[in-house]
Amino acid sequence: MKLTIIQVGQTPESMQKYFDRFPPQFQQLLSANGEDFIFETANIFIGEEFPQIDNLEGIIITGSAYGVYDDIGWIEPLRNFVRNIYDRQIPMLGICFGHQIMADALGGKVEKSIKGWGVGRHIYEVKKNLDFFVGMGDKIALAASHQDQVVKKPEEAEIFLSSDFTPYAGLFYKNGAAISLQPHPEFDAEYSKALIDELSEDDLDREKAKKARLSLNEPLDNLQIGAALARFFKMAKNNQPSVKNF
C-alpha cells in the first residue's frame, strides 16, 4: 500500500543536524512492526503541487508550525483537498496540525488554546473501542507539542482519545476512513525534549519546561500506536474499520 505524506511543516532547522525530518519519522512509525508500505512525499508547504487524488491509496497530513487560521496560500487548497479525500473515502491520517486541519475542513473549530503550550508526555483516555486499536487498554501515553487545539469537533467525528488538557485529542470519522490525533506518535522522547528546548521563556516558563522534559523519561506508546495506525490504513483500504458502540 502506498502512503502519501502531505508535508506542511519541518523539523526546526537548528535540530536537523541531529534528528530526522518528518517523512522518515512517519516511515519508521508505520513500518516498525514490519509493515510493507511504500511512501512518497508532497511538500505542500514549500510550493509543491498537491498529488492527483486518483493516484492516492492513503495520505498522512503532518504537523506544522502554522495554524489553520493563518493566511498562508496553501491552507485553503488543503481544506478542499481534505474534503475531497474524505468524500472519496481514501484512508487519511492527520497528526497535530493535520488533526486540526481535518477538523477545521470538515466542520469543526480550531483555536490557539488559552491553556498555553502542551508539551512533554501526556496521558490520554481511550474513549472508543476502535477495532484497529485492539489490546490498547484504556490509557495511552504520547508526546505532545502544540498550542492550538480543536475546540469544537465536526458532526462527522467521534472522540476516541481525550485528556483534561486536550478534550478532542483523537477523532475518528464516520466515513470509516479518516482518523486524527493531536499528539505525536512519530516523535520519540529525545526529539520531544529538543522541541521543548526550542521554546522561549515567553512561550513556556522554565519550571513547566523542566517538568515536561522529566515526564519524557517515562515510556511512550509509540510502537503500539504505530502498529494500530498501520492496521487502520490496511483495514480502511478494504473498507473494514469500525468502532464498537460508535
pLDDT at 238: 78
pLDDT for 229-245, tens place per residue? 999 999 998 776 665 54
Of 47, 54, 141, 159, the closest CA to residue 103 belongs to 159
Mean pLDDT of 137-142: 93
CA-CA-CA-CA dihedral for 40, 160, 215, 230, to nearest 10: -30
Domains, the chain, with CATH or none? 2-244 (3.40.50.880)
Whole-angstrom distance, CA of residue 142 vs CA of residue 213: 13
Show the cell assigned to 176: 470509516
- Paired with 120 in beta bridges are 144
| SS3 of residue 192 by DSSP | helix
φ, ψ (nearest 5 deg) of residue 233: -60, -45
Alpha carbons within 13 angstroms on the beta-carbon side of residue 39 total 19
Alpha-carbon distance values, 243 to 130, 136, 173, 175, 180 (Å): 5, 14, 10, 11, 14
SS3 109: strand
**pLDDT tens for each residue of 61-108:** 999 999 999 999 999 999 999 999 999 999 999 999 999 999 999 999
For position 32, what pLDDT does the model report?
Answer: 79
Tens digits of residue pLDDT in 20-54: 889 999 999 999 777 789 999 999 999 999 999 99
Catalytic sites, residue numbers = 96, 184, 186
Collapse the DSSP code of 31 into the 3-class scheme (helix H, G, I; strand E, B; otherwise coil) and give the result: helix
Lowest mean pLDDT among 7-11, 29-33, 73-77, 166-170: 29-33
Whether the model pTM is above 0.75: yes
Q: In 160-173, which positions are buried (b, 16+ CB within 10 angstroms) versus exposed (e)?
A: bbbbebbebbbbbb
